[in-house]
């Protein structure tokens, strides 16, 4: 069992007793658990066997495609039907979609009820559940509607990772690699040297990766400066993810971010911040884990159009978070369309 203390809440890793202790102390009028069909089957039984209080269940359809205001409306309506009030507790049991959307719904229902995160995927454990970013997609743009509000607590259980297919583990692992690239060069080299996911100390890996993000978000909770480095790979990556969202073979979040990290590493190279051998190493490491999806990149006009709605932008200028060097991220970087085009060509080029 491990514990990480943030500015306003605690993150507990593999400590079931802490869940009941938190809920008992809160003396809530009612408890609502939000799940999807996957966490209902694989994760809810563990929680249900533990909770001392009765609870109501709201089940939504899984997938990024359902992370929208229509789903929020359905959750709010069901909360009303269940008689929830501002003294209720919302437990978000799921991956990043449920964590982002469930926290947003709870924070806006009756101007805010308490919520806790029980992230069940690697992606949500090392990234989405930490730092208080909440929201939904809107009109095809990722996370366009949302707020920053910290949960009451986060409870992570690495046993839930055993329920995930390998592609979901790879998706989450992209954020682990990102944390190393922007803040810890040794972690980057360690985390990109793996051959498979079958023999990993997930408790230690989750702890180490979460600690990097926690230290950043504690220093800059409102994303006024330093926290923006966490968006490395995401300006291009979110655009690629959005472009492929409605396709039958859409990319998972981490798969798109992995491509984005390679392309934004190449932008860092073009700025003279990392060497050619370093950007080639990043590309080779990503392809080794994620493959080389050259057919998923939109044309330059479409890519720029999608990036134009990125939340880091200012005054219509697309702003990037890049690398000063491996292990050191920067932010508020402007690049030219020609540089973006060269980064696309770099990704598409066969090693």
Annotated catalytic sites, by residue?
Answer: 111, 133, 175, 213, 223, 227, 231, 234, 238, 253
Q: How far is CA 137 from the centre of its chain?
A: 13
Strand 141-148 to 133-138 pairing: antiparallel
d(CA 175, CA 254): 7
Cα dihedral sign, 241-104-232-202: negative
Q: Could you tell me the CA-to-CA distances from 19 to 23, 117, 154, 166, 221 in Å, in that order?
A: 6, 10, 9, 28, 24
**Which 3-state string (H, E, C) describes the chain?**
CEEEECCCCEEEECCHHHHHHHHHHHCCCCEEEEEEHHHHHHCHHHHHCCCCCCCEEEEECCCHHHCCHHHHHHHHHHHHHCCCCCCCEEEEEECHHHHHHHHHHHHHHHHCCEEEEEECCHHHHHHHCCCCEEEEEECCEEEEEEEECCCCEEEECHHHHHHCCHHHHHHHHHHHHHHHHHHCHHHHHHHCCCCCCCCCCHHHHHHHHHHHHHHHHHHCCCCCCHHHHHHCCHHHHHHHHHHHCCCCCCCCHHHHHHHHHHHHHHHHHHCCCCCHHHHHHHHHHHHHHHCCCHHHCCCHHHHHHHHCCCCCCECCECCECCEEECCEECCCECCCHHHHHHHHHHHHCCC
């Amino acid at each position: 069992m491990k514990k990480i203390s943030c500015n306003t809440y605690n993150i507990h890793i593999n400590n079931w007793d802490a869940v009941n202790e938190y809920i008992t102390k809160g003396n809530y009028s009612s408890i609502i658990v939000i799940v999807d069909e996957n966490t209902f089957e694989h994760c809810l039984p563990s929680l249900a066997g533990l909770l001392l209080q009765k609870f109501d269940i709201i089940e939504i359809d899984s997938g990024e495609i359902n992370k929208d205001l229509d789903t929020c409306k359905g959750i709010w309506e069901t909360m009303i039907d269940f008689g929830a009030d501002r003294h209720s507790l919302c437990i978000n049991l799921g991956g990043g979609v449920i964590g982002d959307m469930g926290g947003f719904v709870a924070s806006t229902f009756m101007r805010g009820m308490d919520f806790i995160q029980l992230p069940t995927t690697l992606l949500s454990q090392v990234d989405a559940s930490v730092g208080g970013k909440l929201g939904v997609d809107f009109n095809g743009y990722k996370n366009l509607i949302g707020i920053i509000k910290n949960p009451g607590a986060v409870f992570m259980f690495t046993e839930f990772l055993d329920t995930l297919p390998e592609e979901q583990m790879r998706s989450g692992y992209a954020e682990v690699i990102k944390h190393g690239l922007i803040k810890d060069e040794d972690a980057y080299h360690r985390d990109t040297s793996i051959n498979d996911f079958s023999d990993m100390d997930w408790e230690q890996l989750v702890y180490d990766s979460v600690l990097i993000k926690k230290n950043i978000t504690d220093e800059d909770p409102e994303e006024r400066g330093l926290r923006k480095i966490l968006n490395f790979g995401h300006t291009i990556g979110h655009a690629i993810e959005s472009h492929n969202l409605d396709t039958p073979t859409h990319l998972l979040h981490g798969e798109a971010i992995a491509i984005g990290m390679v392309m934004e590493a190449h932008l860092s190279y073009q700025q003279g911040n990392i060497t050619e051998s370093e950007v080639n190493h990043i590309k080779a490491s990503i392809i080794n884990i994620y493959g080389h999806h050259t057919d998923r990149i939109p044309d330059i006009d479409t890519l720029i159009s999608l990036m134009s709605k990125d939340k880091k932008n200012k005054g219509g200028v697309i702003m990037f978070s890049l690398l000063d060097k491996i292990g050191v991220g920067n932010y508020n970087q402007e690049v030219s369309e020609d540089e973006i085009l060269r980064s696309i060509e770099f990704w598409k080029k066969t090693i």
